[in-house]
């Protein structure tokens, strides 16, 4: 078990990391600061990554050392906006359309038909999917494409909504712009490219039909005051976001997901993520090549 010393080491000098590479003690202070303010934990194996991100920002603000940068983050007039900039650097992730195919197939073949069937009993129903930690929007637009492809089929007469949130302003900006290169669009068939995108030079720009059902907003998943408003979800996607949180924060976020989901709804996590030890209210269900967590009709009390 790591002692408190290795998690939050003394600030005196350079500290040995487990790999034997020493990191500046101010890097640990910056790590603590990020954790205290945003709840995002940078484990030891990510310290090198954190150092690189800090260096990138140091060049921009003209800080000569990690110590100077730490002072800038804590004392300068621009400390709040600089912290946001740093968070943007840390949470940026590259992804692409139709990334996890078994998950998408499970959604298309099992989850959407089941959810739509439940809705059919009520007129003017709404189908709401939340892409939590949407990064640059590929997942959110993928969901929107799935919706629109079924809008005359099994999702007919339903109001379709994709809510997409992230902490990173720059990612959100890129998501709203909806312009993507080869990497992001490599899994898109020619048919879907033609139907939902317009060429913009070498890039592809998302058409308004797709944009109209996706709503992007900045949400910190640890901000209770915002989380309680993300209500009435039918499906939540939260892929590769939890890695940034520690145990306590994970429990909190997943509890919010549980509360915000309607009965008979699903939570999808990233390929290698598990709710083991985090939440036992959901039920793990298996699809061919994919898993999800199911919230049943009645919340189970206690057990």
Partner 1 sequence: MAILLADISRKISDLDNIPTVPALLVPLLRRLGEPAEKVSVAEIVTLISYDKSLTAQCLHMANSPLLGMRNRVETVQGAVMALGMTKVREVATTCCLLRALPARRGSLQPNDLWKHSLACAMVSREFARKVGFADPEQAYLAGLLHDLGLIVELTTFPKEFEAATHVAIAKRCPIHEAERLVLGVNHCVIGEMLAERWHLPSEMKEVIRHHHDVDHASTAAVLVSIVSLTDILCRMRGLGYGFEEVRQVDLSSEYAWKHIGEGLPKMRDFDLARFTLEIDAYIEEVERLVTTLFDLA
> Is there a contact between 143 and 131 (Cβ–Cβ < 8 Å)?
yes
Least separation in angstroms between residue 100's CB and partner 1 is 12
Query: At its nearest, how many Å lie between partner 1 and the CB of residue 284?
Result: 6
Nearer to partner 1 among residue 181 and residue 289 (C-beta): 289
Minimum gap (Å) between residue 252 Cβ and partner 1: 19
Give the shortest CB-253-to-partner 1 separation in angstroms: 17
Closest approach, Cβ 295 to partner 1, in A, equals 12
The first and second tokens of residue 195, run together, are 């139907």
Q: Which two tokens stand for residue 163?
A: 């809510």
3-state secondary structure 214-257: EEEEECCCCCHHHHCCCCCEEEEEECCCHHHECHHHHHHHHHHH
Question: Is 301 among the residues that bind partner 1 (CB under 8 A)?
Answer: no
What span, in angstroms and rounded, lies between the C-alpha atoms of 17 and 142?
40
Listed in sequence order, the residues at least 6 apart from 156 whose beta carbon sits closer than 8 Å to its beta carbon are none
Least CB distance to partner 1 at residue 222 (A): 23
DSSP of 149-213: HTTTTTTTT-EEEEEEEES-HHHHHHHHHTEE-HHHHTT--HHHHHHHEEEETTEEEE-HHHHTT
Cβ distance to partner 1 smaller for residue 25 or 103: 103
Secondary-structure breakdown of the chain: helix, strand, coil percentages, each rounded to the nearest 5: 45, 20, 35
Q: Closer to partner 1 at the Cβ: 97 or 268?
A: 268
Q: Of the listed pieces 11-19, 46-54, 77-85, 266-274, which binds partner 1 according to CB under 8 A?
A: 266-274
Residue of 106, 207, 230, 253 interacting with partner 1 (CB under 8 A): 106
Site string for partner 1, 268-297 (x = CB under 8 A): ---xxxxxxx-----xxxxxxx-x--x---
Of the candidates 120, 134, 229, 240, the one whose C-alpha atom is nearest the C-alpha of residue 144 is: 134
Contact 238, 132 (CB under 8 A): yes
Distance, CA of 134 to chain centre: 5
Build a one-symbol-per-residue string for 59-98: x at contacts with partner 1 by CB under 8 A, - elsewhere.
Answer: ----------------------------------------
- Name the residue nearer to partner 1 (CB basis): 68 or 105: 105
Q: Which of 45, 52, 56, 109 binds partner 1 (CB under 8 A)?
A: 109
- Which chain residues interact with partner 1 by CB under 8 A? 106, 109-110, 271-277, 283-289, 291, 294
């Amino acid at each position: 078990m790591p002692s408190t010393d290795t998690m939050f080491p003394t600030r005196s000098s350079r500290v040995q990391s487990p790999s034997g590479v020493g990191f500046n003690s101010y890097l640990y202070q910056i790590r603590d600061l990020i954790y205290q303010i945003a709840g995002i934990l940078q484990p030891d194996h990510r310290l090198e990554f954190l150092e690189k991100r800090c260096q990138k920002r140091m060049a921009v603000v003209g800080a000569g050392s990690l110590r100077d940068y730490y002072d800038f983050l804590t004392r300068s007039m621009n400390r709040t906006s600089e912290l946001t900039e740093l968070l943007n650097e840390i949470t940026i992730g590259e992804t692409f359309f139709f990334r996890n195919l078994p998950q998408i197939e499970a959604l298309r073949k099992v989850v959407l038909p089941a959810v739509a069937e439940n809705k059919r009993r009520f007129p003017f129903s709404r189908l709401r999917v939340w892409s939590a930690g949407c990064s640059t929007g590929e997942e959110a637009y993928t969901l929107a494409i799935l919706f629109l492809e079924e809008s005359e089929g099994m999702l007919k007469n339903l109001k379709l909504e994709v809510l997409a949130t992230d902490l990173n302003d720059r990612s959100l900006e890129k998501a709203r712009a909806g312009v993507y290169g080869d990497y992001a669009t490599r899994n898109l068939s020619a048919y879907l490219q033609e139907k939902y995108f317009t060429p913009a030079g070498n890039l592809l720009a998302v058409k308004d039909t797709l944009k109209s059902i996706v709503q992007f907003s900045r949400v910190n998943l640890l901000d209770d005051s915002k989380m309680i408003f993300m209500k009435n979800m039918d499906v939540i996607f939260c892929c590769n976001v939890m890695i940034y949180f520690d145990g306590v924060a994970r429990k909190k976020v997943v509890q919010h997901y549980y509360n915000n989901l309607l009965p008979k709804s699903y939570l999808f996590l990233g390929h290698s993520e598990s709710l083991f030890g985090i939440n036992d209210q959901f039920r793990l269900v298996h699809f061919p090549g994919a898993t999800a967590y199911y919230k049943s009709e009645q919340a189970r009390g206690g057990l």
